Structure 1
C-alpha cells in the first residue's frame, strides 16, 4: 500500500492530531514489532502512550487519518525515509560533548600509559549527532600535538539514523551542548558564530576531518570494519531488551583488539560475563589478551 504524499496538506487543512485513544492495541503491537524486528528497539505495552504522543504530530503533519495509515506508510518499502523518521521520533538523541567525563579521563590515561605512536582506531558505535566522536577527536588532537600519540589515528562514527548523521557531519551545535568543554579547549577546537549564527559553534575542520561517519544497524551482523583499539557503545543499549543487548555487546566486542577497551553508559549496567570483557571502572571494560 502506498500513500500519496506528493502534495502535503496546507496548514489550515490539517486534520486533528490523533490521541492514544485512537491507537488500537493491534496497531501499537504491529508498530512495535516492526521496530523490534528491524532495529532492535524494544517497547512494551507501558510505552503505548509515549509512542502515541511521539508519532501524533507527524501523523497530523502528513495529513493522515490516524495510526493505521501511518503503519501502512511504515510498511511500504518505498517509504524508507519515513521509517527512518519514525525511528528518530521514538528514540532520544539528547547528548553533549564530553558526556561522562571519567571515560575520557580514563582514555587519556590509557593512551599516555601505552608510550606508543602506533596507529590507533576508535569507533563511536552509536554516535548520534557526533558529540562523542568530536569530543574524542579533540582529545586525540591534543595528545598528538603533545607527542603522547602518533599522527596515525582515526575515528569511525556510526548511527542507525541517516538524519542525525547528516547533522553530525556539519559539526554545528548550540553552545550549550559544549557546556562541559573548557574555554581553552573551546577556543582551540571551535569557531563561535555571530549574527544569525550567534549562540552556535562549529567544530574546526582540523577536528572534523578526523572523523568518518557511516550508517550502521547494531542489530545486524557487523562486517567490514575494525579491529578497533577503543569502542564507545554508550546510551544505546537502554533501547534493547536483555537478549538483544547481549547480542549487540558480543558483536561489538568481536571488533575490539585484545587489550582494547569498550565504553558503555554507566547507567546501562555491566557487560555480561560470557562476553569475556573485564571491568575497569564503571562503564569501562577491557578485552583480555589471550595467553
Structure 2
C-alpha cells in the first residue's frame, strides 16, 4: 500500500470535520469565556467562524464528535496540554527577526547614548518563537563587541505557550524569518543548515545562552522578575479587550526601571494616559523618572 493510499485509509476512519454550523452559540460562549478567564484572549461573536475553523481539524484528529466534546476536554484539569494546544491554535504566532526596525534603531540609540557599562536587563514579554529576543541579543552582542555597552546584559523571554517556547529554545528558523537580517549579521550569529536542514538557520550557542526562556501569563499577577531597563510588549495586546489591555500594560510597566522604555506594537495603539508612560516614537514609551 503506497503512502497516498495509507493516508486516505486513515482519513476514512476519522469522523467528519465539524463546521461552524455544528458550533452552538452556547458552546462558543463557554469556550470564549474559558479563554478570556484563563489567558485573557478576547473573542466576540464575529470570531465564531474563526474559532470553529481553527479548532475543527484538531477535533477531527482527536476523533471527537464535535465542539461540545472538545469543550469537555478543555475543562478537564488533567488535559492542560490540550488546553495549551487550543491557545496555540487560536492565536497567531507569525513573526520574524527585527520586526518594526525603528524600534531597534531607537533601542540602539538609547543604549549607545547611555555611555555606561552598567548591567542591562531586557524582557521580551510575549516572545512567541524567540525572533524578537534573538534579534535583541544580536544587537546587544554587537554593541558589546564595539565597547558601547558592557558585557553584563541579559534577556528574559516569556510566553504563555509552552509549545512555542520549546521551539524558541532550539533557535532554529526557516531562513525567510531572517529576511531583514544582513548577510554579515547572519553569518556572525547563525549557522546555515545543510542537506536535510537546507533552508534553515540555527542561532549560535553563544547567543542562545544569553536568552532565558520561561512561561508566563500576562493576565495574572507578575512577580519575581525585573526590574528591567527595556521591555518589549509587542503584538500580543491585539488579543485583549480594552480592560485587560490596560491591566496588562500597568502590570508590565511596574517592572520597568524609571527612565526605562516600553515597546508596544505600532498597530496596537497608545499606552493609556493613567500609566504615566511618555510617548517617544510610535509604539515606544518612556517611564518617567521619579
1:1-291 pair list within 5 angstroms: 10-290=10-290
Please report how far the alpha carbon of residue 12 of structure 1 lies from its aligned counterpart in structure 2 after TM superposition: 3.4
Deviation at 1:76, TM superposition (A): 0.2
Note the residue ranges of structure 1 that are not aligned, 5 or more in a row.
1-8
Counterpart CA distance in 2 for 1:175 and 1:190 is 10
Shift of 1:10: 5.0
Distance 2:158 2:140 in 1: 19
**Deviation of 1:162 (Å):** 0.1
Calculate the TM-score normalised by the size of structure 1.
Answer: 0.96
Q: Structure 1: which 4+ aligned runs deviate by more than 3 Å?
A: 9-12
The alpha-carbon deviation at position 266 of structure 1 amounts to: 0.2
Give the distance between the partners of 2:10 and 2:116, measured in 1 at CA. Answer: 61
CA offsets 1:136-175 (integer angstroms, 9 cap, x no match):
0000000000000000000000000000000000000000
Equivalent residue of 1:134, what SS? helix
Q: 2:133 & 2:156 partners in 1: Cα distance?
A: 8
SS in 2 for 1:79: helix
What is the number of equivalent residue pairs in this alignment?
282
String of CA shifts for 1:10-43, please: whole Å, max 9, x gaps: 5431100000000000000000000000000000
Partner of 1:6: none
1:162-207 superposed Cα distances (whole Å, 9 cap, x missing partner) = 0000000000000000000000000000000010000000000111
Aligned to 1:3: none
Rounded to whole Å, the distance in 2 between the matches of 1:170 and 1:78 is 27
SS at match of 2:232: strand
SS of 1:97's partner is: coil
TM-score of the superposed pair, with normalisation by structure 2: 0.97
Secondary structure of 1:214's aligned partner: strand
Query: By how many angstroms is 1:126 displaced?
Result: 0.1
- 1: distance between equivalents of 2:60 and 2:284? 43
Q: Equivalent residue for 1:5?
A: none
SS at match of 2:77: coil
Give structure 2 stretches of 5+ with no counterpart.
Answer: 1-8
SS at match of 2:78: coil
> Per the alignment, in what secondary structure is the counterpart of residue 212 of structure 2?
strand
Q: CA RMSD in A?
A: 0.8
Cα distance in 2, alignment partners of residues 42 and 178 from structure 1: 31
Q: Aligned partners of 1:147 and 1:68: how far apart in 2? A: 59
Once residues 236 and 14 of structure 2 are traced to their aligned partners in structure 1, the CA distance between those partners, rounded to angstroms, is: 34
Distance 2:286 2:177 in 1: 29
